[in-house]
Amino acid sequence: MKITLLTTLPSLIENRRIKEEVEARGDTFALVDMKEFSYKVINDTLSVPQMDVLLASDVVIVRGIFNAVKSIASLVAYLRAKGVRVFDNNLSSHPYSIDKVVDVFKLALAHIPTPNTVYARSFDEYPQLLEQVGYPAIIKSTRMGKGVGVNKYDTKEEAAQYINELKSNDANAKSYLIQSYIPYEHDLRVLVIGRTMYAMKRIPQSGEFRANFSLGGSVEPFPLTPEIEELSLRAITAVGLEIAGVDILIEPNGKKYILEVNHTPGFEGMEKALNSNIGSKFLEYVLDAAHI
C-alpha cells in the first residue's frame, strides 16, 4: 500500500513518527509538502506540483495544513473524485487548522464550559473588556498553537503596555482573544482518536504558567474519568473533528474548563507520558477512516 502524507509543515516531529509506523507495516511512505502551494493553468489544463504522487496513492493523510487551506480542501475533493481514499480530519467541512475565535464560538453554542472570553475588532475596546474579564487576564493569538502567542497580564498597566506594542506594530485586534486566567490545579491534554482517548497532565516549568510540552513542560499520566471523557467527546463533536487534542483546566474545586481544541495535536508528549506507541494507533485509525 502506498500512503502519502500531505502537509504544509513537514518539520512536525509526528510526520517522522507516521513515516516510521507506515514503514513498520511494510507499506510505502511519501510526504508531499504544500508549504509553498502553487499551481499552473496552461491551455485549460491544471498542473499542481506532485499531483502524480497524490493520484498514485492508495491513501492520503492530510495533516498540518496551515496555509492555502481552501485550495487544499478543493484538492482533497478532487482526489476523492478520482477514487483516492483520503483522511482529512474533516478539513473540507471547516477549512481552517487554527482559528480559536471560531472554535470558542462553537464550544459556546454547545454550552461547553470555557474560560470567560471576549473578542473585539478594535484595541480601543480592550481596556473595558479586560476590566470585565478581570485580572489576571490572558491575551492570546487566535492563529498560533503550542502555547506561542499566549500572554498573561496581572494588571491593567501591564496589559496597556502590551496593547500599545501591538498597535505600534500594526497588529490587528481581530487576531487576538481576551480570556480570564484560570488558576488551575491540573492542566490536561486529552488526545482523542475516534472514540479512543489518552490523557496526560502537563506541568509547567518554574516561573511559567503555560504547561505545553512543546515549551518545555513535563508530562505524566493522568487517569481518565467518565466526566473527562464525556467533556472531551462533547468538545471535539462541537468543533467537528475526529482526531483532536483537548486542553482541559481543572480548578482546585474540581470545576473543569475546555481551554482549546487542537486540530493537529502532537502525540510525542503523550507517547512519553504513557510509554505507549500512539503513532501506531493514529495510523490504524486514519487508514480505517479514510474514504473516497
**Residues 203-258: tens digit of each pLDDT:** 988 878 888 776 778 899 999 999 999 999 999 999 999 999 999 999 999 999 99
Neighbours of 132 (CB within 10 A): 12
Give the span between the Cα atoms of 248 and 232, in whole angstroms.
8
* Count of beta carbons in the 10 Å neighbourhood of residue 121: 10
Tell me which residue has cell 492530510. 62
Please identify which residue in the block is written with the cell numbers 490523557: 199
Lowest mean pLDDT among 173-177, 249-253, 275-279: 173-177
The rounded mean pLDDT for the chain is 93
- β-sheet bridge partners, residue 258: 248
In this predicted structure, the answer to whether residue 126 has a pLDDT above a threshold of 90 is yes
Task: Give pTM, 2 decimals.
Answer: 0.92
